[in-house]
Amino acid sequence: MKHYLDIQAIIENDTDLKRSNAKCFEVGDIIQITEKVDGSNASVQKEGETLMAYSRKQSLDEFNHLDGFYNYVQTLNPADFDERYVVFGEWLRKNKIVYEKENMHKWYVFDIFDAVDEQWMTQDFVRQFCADHGLIYVNVLYEGPFISWDHCRTFMNSPHYGERQEGIVIKNQTKINSTMKGNPFYLKIVNDSFKETMKM
């Protein structure tokens, strides 16, 4: 079972206590910004002719089904999937943020991992995979050159699935799969209001 990336919150500048993790992002790099959805991480991988369903930490079955995600996976066509790919998304279920009812209990795909070559696929690949197989691709807020972190923050209050937005995920497509130590190619920025909700 492949675990999803632990996406770090941005540390934009070095301080006495923390080292910046944002140096992988340079002006002109092609990035994608997506809405960070407050559901449950859920993935699918084909094994033989069967689609296996997973939460972040364990495999699912009819008894441990992640609020219906396992049941949803049983409606998918195994022929649409390749054993080499682990498809990751967010299963939108009741959590801290209240979303519109019509958006709940749906799977919003945001990444695909190639388990053979051990690398993350580009977002162009992920988007096309979703289009080809009738899956929902996560809401995209921006695609284009990296300008600045202040520019990225302008997308912090653009909710698509409900009245509030947990935050954003910024993915560097120019440096995807970069091995630059301590400087990941995915970062997140979480809204202050969501942080306060989590504390409560």
3-state secondary structure the chain: CCCCCCCEECCCCCCCCCCCCCCCCCCCCEEEEEEECCCEEEEEEEECCEEEEEECCCECCCCCCCCCHHHHHCCCCHHHCCCCEEEEEEECCCCCCCECHHHCCCEEEEEEEECCCCEECCHHHHHHHHHHHCCEECCEEEEEECCCHHHHHCCCCCCCCECCCCEEEEEECCCCCCCCCCCCCEEEEECHHHHHHHHC
Using a cut of 0.85, tell me whether the model's pTM lies above it.
yes
Q: What is the residue-averaged pLDDT of the chain?
A: 93
Chain segment 29-86, per-residue pLDDT in tens: 999 999 999 899 999 999 999 999 999 999 999 999 999 999 999 999 999 999 999 9
- Indicate if the pLDDT at residue 169 is higher than 70: yes
